[in-house]
Structure 1
């Protein structure tokens, strides 16, 4: 079933990992000077490697986990037996309960799926007769004690080896697997694998089994049972050429037209080669493919009782990932920080109202309506009653803070002229305040965007926040710029301000663009 996995940014409490009794994080230090040579800290547990990688923002760590789920389930000893859907359920439960993984938000970057197939004949018969896969020959991994045969494609790797020989088993066990390097490999294949909890999506198991069997059937094998004496001259020529892996290669020095012609010829000859195998061979490849199909079906069989347990565990894990409250404030259990961001709990994205909102306690300035782009949705606290929120925003930036005018979220250490919450801050919010992140996602993501990967969702949220603000006056400003372009190079009789009387909304857009490359001279 599933085996190797890589998650580059696990949704988990870093402080809890550092104090977990099963993990001891070390780092590379110069023995003489004590200087840290590599800031990345590593720990190992039962076949999994944990890496704490400092974030580029300088705040906190990114948790990366890589290793074998199958081996982890077996206590780190081996992955040579059968790994079932029930075993997978117990594995994920350990990750959620022992380490605090948020299985719903931990995005999978690489995954392996495959089977350990017990054959009635030596595995060497399969490996020794490998020719190619999609006209690409298999390479042998020279770094392993036993031969690993791999065909490296752009998005995935087809891999097989003698698992019985590797583990010293008496049985003939073939390991056949697909290692997905880019999750786009699953696009259009009926498989949805995004986060860890998706590994228990039973609807994926059928399409994954089809992928596995079809991939094995598409491999070109030789068959030593064929006696060339039974072949005519033309058949013998096709067979001798086809069993040579180099024959299926398309030379790189061909023109586009020549390459297309060459591939068409190879396709015809491949069909003729397979016809020879079917007619004169022993059809052992079909036998192995049947074992692959049978083994996968046995591993992924889910009865009603197991399905009920899966649903119960999912509900439990969901509750583990929900924020709890402290003194009336929501606090995420998967936060890297223990200090509550009070400024981020004082606006309309939350379902509760804190008893005191500290700096943001004065009523909104009456002169600004809520449709005005300068209105942030957050009351301004100023000793000067005539001071606008825009002036206050500039003042806050000078003081090292700012407030996003759309969401009202406090922006600490903003960049010069930064007004909106950034992608990086949204990613951090997903870990430090899950409730607020979900509220942002519900408000600013469309249907297709909501189904994107985590990185893309954060990008869309930030992008749509800026659009929400700018779209209030973009169309009027486009008309204004169009008018200016139409009179460019001419001596106008009247100034633009005399022709077009800006509304409060248009004037706000003009003021917003002052000093930028999009400034409108009005």
Structure 2
């Protein structure tokens, strides 16, 4: 996940660098001279494998590809790859590999990773896909509002430039001549403020761990999600004549540029949503395939698949124990008030999840394994189910004025929770019981969400992380978190048939084929 990095080691140790040069550790020492006088300059550049080191007045500047450095010291890269591309970074680079590689680099050069303050860093994943990556790249339209992107290597490389970062998507298999199709998605951070604003607590090389990489992956995933493209696998023959005309417009970059100039932004957004629905229903959805491979690659890099399997095995439909949660029973949910809603993204709600690794900066949020489109089946929330009392028609009587209906004592929640439960109706989006909702309701609303917050905060946090925006911006119409989540779930339910068999980017897994999860 980590590739290129640039860091400043906050110590000056010219003696150590000279010793390494004398020992032959550095393959090259580049002596800089003044172009006017020809006098040698103090800032010599040392080359160790593919890593550059330079003395500055503030310390030692170190930069290079950590992934390629590993390929060199481990003998993975061929001599041709080392000569032509300074190494090889087309394989899997796990967190364990990152830690081992950093340890080796620090031991050779002689510095502590806590002293190396990051200035630039590349975060990306190699996705093994079943199609030619150029099939996806040729349909690129824009990223967010940026229509001006670089195209290189005969269409096999695309880059979106911003002041603080670059988004790079390219055909890695063609780059190295690999036997399988590999597409790389990457964000190159040019100013660390981009990461810090997103809540990613990466300051020094020592801060590279499972949680900061998970946060960084969330940023990468969200940036990739913001891409709009035309899918050339679209089955035009299945579209209506009106949709076919629209599809011709949608593949034209100039059409979208004209929409961007329109003062009414809703027009462009509506057309983008129509294109997304076409792609999801009438194409191979190449972007969706890439997103699933991004998540799979992330799981392999961070080795989080075991946690997801544990959650899936606890699903009652899979024979797991009912009501099992992954968080401790004494976990308390942070009280998020309305005024906090506009300041905290969804991932901020997970700060109080107990972990073995606490962030150094308490203000930085810690992310949760399942807060981005991961394939996870959420166990139906059985603890909220209320009993359904069946009445015998032959014994039922209508109340009359002379025989008033007897009053019944309202049972406290503790008694109701211990009574036999009716497991017949569940929300098809979240798997949560609908027993608190009206009989005609097909999905959970704020009523269930508020009760869920009090009785099972871990599942409530998980649903929040799937459905709240990650930008920290407040919704336009909804006044609190529960109202926003309820609206998201309602929208997912309404449009579920347009994405049957596919996955939404930031929600719980659909399960339309499970009888207990469908109430239609």
Pick the aligned partner of 1:150 from 159, 174, 180: 159
Contact in 1 for aligned 2:137/2:155 (Cα 8 Å):
no
Distance 1:180 1:196 in 2: 14
Q: Which residue of 2 aligns with 1:114?
A: 124
Q: Which residue of 2 aligns with 1:66?
A: 63
Residues 134-160 of structure 1: CA deviation (Å, up to 9, x unaligned): 132363354x68842101123221101
Q: Which residue of 2 aligns with 1:269?
A: 271
Contact in 2 for aligned 1:85/1:302 (Cα 8 Å):
no
Distance 2:154 2:8 in 1: 29
Distance 1:242 1:302 in 2: 38
Q: Which residue of 2 aligns with 1:496?
A: none
Q: Does 1:243 align with 2:245?
A: no
Classify the secondary structure of the residue corresponding to 1:19.
Answer: helix
Q: What is the deviation of 1:37?
A: 6.7
Distance 1:219 1:30 in 2: 46
Residues 7-49 of structure 1: CA deviation (Å, up to 9, x unaligned): 1455463320222131243223489x98237553212222211
Contact in 2 for aligned 1:156/1:185 (Cα 8 Å):
yes
Q: Which residue of 2 aligns with 1:84?
A: 94
Classify the secondary structure of the residue corresponding to 1:179.
Answer: strand
Change (3 A) 1:10 1:87: farther
TM value normalised by structure 1 = 0.51
Distance 1:158 1:450 in 2: 27
Pick the aligned partner of 2:32 from 14, 28, 34: 28
Distance 1:148 1:209 in 2: 21
Residues 242-285 of structure 1: CA deviation (Å, up to 9, x unaligned): 22233333799x7xxxx6x3423211211112122222222232
Pick the aligned partner of 1:279 from 254, 278, 281: 281
Q: What is the deviation of 1:294?
A: 0.2
Change (3 A) 1:232 1:264: same
Which is greater in Rg?
1
Residues 390-446 of structure 1: CA deviation (Å, up to 9, x unaligned): xxxxxxxxxxxxxxxxxxxxxxxxxxxxxxxxxxxxxxxxxxxxxxxxxxxxxxxxx
Distance 1:81 1:65 in 2: 24
Q: Which residue of 1 aligns with 2:202?
A: 193
Distance 2:172 2:39 in 1: 40
Q: Does 1:215 align with 2:223?
A: yes
Classify the secondary structure of the residue corresponding to 2:115.
Answer: coil
Classify the secondary structure of the residue corresponding to 1:104.
Answer: helix
Q: Does 1:16 align with 2:19?
A: no
Alignment of 1:42-441 (within 5 A): 42-53=45-56, 55=57, 62-75=59-72, 77-137=87-147, 139-140=149-150, 142=152, 147-200=156-209, 202-249=210-257, 261-301=263-303
TM value normalised by structure 2 = 0.51
Residues 373-401 of structure 1: CA deviation (Å, up to 9, x unaligned): xxxxxxxxxxxxxxxxxxxxxxxxxxxxx
Contact in 1 for aligned 2:12/2:55 (Cα 8 Å):
no
Change (3 A) 1:297 1:88: same
Contact in 2 for aligned 1:130/1:138 (Cα 8 Å):
no
Count of residues in Structure 1 that have an aligned counterpart in Structure 2: 294
Once superposed, what is the RMSD of the aligned Cα atoms? 3.2
Residues 444-490 of structure 1: CA deviation (Å, up to 9, x unaligned): xxx99999xxxxxxxxxxxxxxxxxxxxxxxxxxxxxxxxxxxxxxx
Change (3 A) 1:18 1:250: farther
Residues 150-171 of structure 1: CA deviation (Å, up to 9, x unaligned): 0112322110111111112111
Distance 1:147 1:448 in 2: 40
Distance 2:10 2:69 in 1: 17
Contact in 2 for aligned 1:131/1:220 (Cα 8 Å):
yes
Contact in 2 for aligned 1:190/1:204 (Cα 8 Å):
no
Distance 2:305 2:239 in 1: 50
Q: Which residue of 1 aligns with 2:479?
A: none
Alignment of 1:485-500 (within 5 A): none
Change (3 A) 1:230 1:168: closer
Classify the secondary structure of the residue corresponding to 2:279.
Answer: helix
Distance 2:18 2:361 in 1: 37
Could you list the runs of 5+ residues in structure 1 that have no partner in the other structure?
Answer: 56-60, 305-446, 452-522
Contact in 2 for aligned 1:146/1:166 (Cα 8 Å):
no
Contact in 1 for aligned 2:124/2:184 (Cα 8 Å):
yes
The range that moved more, 243-252 or 177-186, is 243-252
